[in-house]
Amino acid sequence: MRLLGRALNSFELPDETIRLLDCALAYDGSLHSAHHSAGLHRETYRHTWLLADGSALTLWELVHNPAPGSEPQHEVYVDEEELRTATARLALPPETPDFELAVQVRLSPVPAPRHAYVPDASADHARRLLRRAENTDRPGADLAALLSTASAHQITQAFGVPGRTSRARIGFSLYEHAFLLHDGAEVSLWEVEHTATPDGRHMCEVYDSEDTARLAMERRAAQVP
């Protein structure tokens, strides 16, 4: 909102761009290039947002003063070609500038989330998952508090092959519950569902890593007569 508020041409941005910015989860920005000469200056900045669906949105900001000593003006553009066109219109002196950043400073790409997340009461889903976990070494209050900021999640099955023992049919399934937090971070819970219980009933266990969950499955399977 600060960027759009100071840009003189923000009203020209597409409505879809404004809508996507309302759903942004994380932000990064950096100086892209600069030119200073005879009291005139021009800087360009790249602003990048991580969206809830894992994609990235970039806006280009042009900052310049129309005359030496005047207040800077801000403009914003949706692609680099528009930025170059706007920069070419500026009346900067042709002589060698007092300062010029000739090599463009580029941001590292915003890491793409590993999952295709779906916003769907994700914080409540995490709370219910932890509540039904029966293992005493389930994730604690710190992780539960972190997951209360989840904005989207995805469930995938990592393992699910029923086995047969001498006394009963025992089933094991492993699910990854991946959560996208408001700051763009990703956290996963690993759910083990099995019937390796004395009375054959269904049991749910939850762990904070895949390795720990798989070890728990092996331990449970070894206890079956």
In this structure, is residue 82 part of a structural domain? yes
* 110 inside domain: no
Cα 13 from Cα 78, distance rounded (Å): 7
116 inside domain: no
The DSSP call for residue 198 is T
Task: Provide the whole-model pTM.
Answer: 0.52
Place of tokens 């819970």: 189
**Nearest of 102, 104, 111 to residue 28 by alpha carbon:** 111
Q: Do the beta carbons of residue 150 and residue 180 sit within 8 Å?
A: yes
Residues 97 and 6 in one domain: yes
Q: Please give the pLDDT value at position 167.
A: 42
Q: Are residues 128 and 216 in the same domain?
A: yes
Same domain, 25 and 97: yes
Q: Find the helix or strand (DSSP H, E) in which 217 lies.
A: helix 210-222
Expressed as residue numbers, the domain containing 30 is 2-101
Instruction: Say if residue 12 is in the same domain as residue 80.
Output: yes
Q: Which pLDDT score is estimated for 98? A: 46
Per-residue pLDDT at 112: 57
User: CB–CB of 74/62 below 8 Å?
Assistant: yes
Q: Is there a domain that residue 166 lies in?
A: yes
Rounded distance, CA 181 to CA 150, Å? 4
- Residue-level pLDDT at 77: 95
Structure tokens at 98: 């007092």
Q: Are residues 161 and 193 in the same domain?
A: yes
135's tokens = 């293992």
Per-block mean pLDDT, blocks of 10 residues, the chain (225 long): 89 89 82 80 88 84 87 92 88 50 47 69 93 94 92 84 48 90 87 86 92 89 75
Task: Supply the pLDDT for residue 109.
Answer: 53
Is 151 part of a structural domain of the chain?
yes
Which pair of tokens denotes residue 176?
Answer: 């990854």
Spatial separation of the C-alpha atoms in residues 61 and 138, rounded to whole Å? 47
User: Of 38, 69, 101, at which residue does a domain stop?
Assistant: 101
Q: Are 196 and 224 in contact (CB under 8 A)?
A: yes
Whole-number pLDDT of residue 125: 94
Q: What is the pLDDT of residue 162?
A: 42
Q: Within this chain, do residues 95 and 131 fall inside the same structural domain, yes or no?
A: no
17 within domain boundaries: yes
Q: Could you give the number of structural domains in the chain?
A: 2
Does 178 fall in a domain?
Answer: yes
Are 132 and 87 contained in the same domain? no
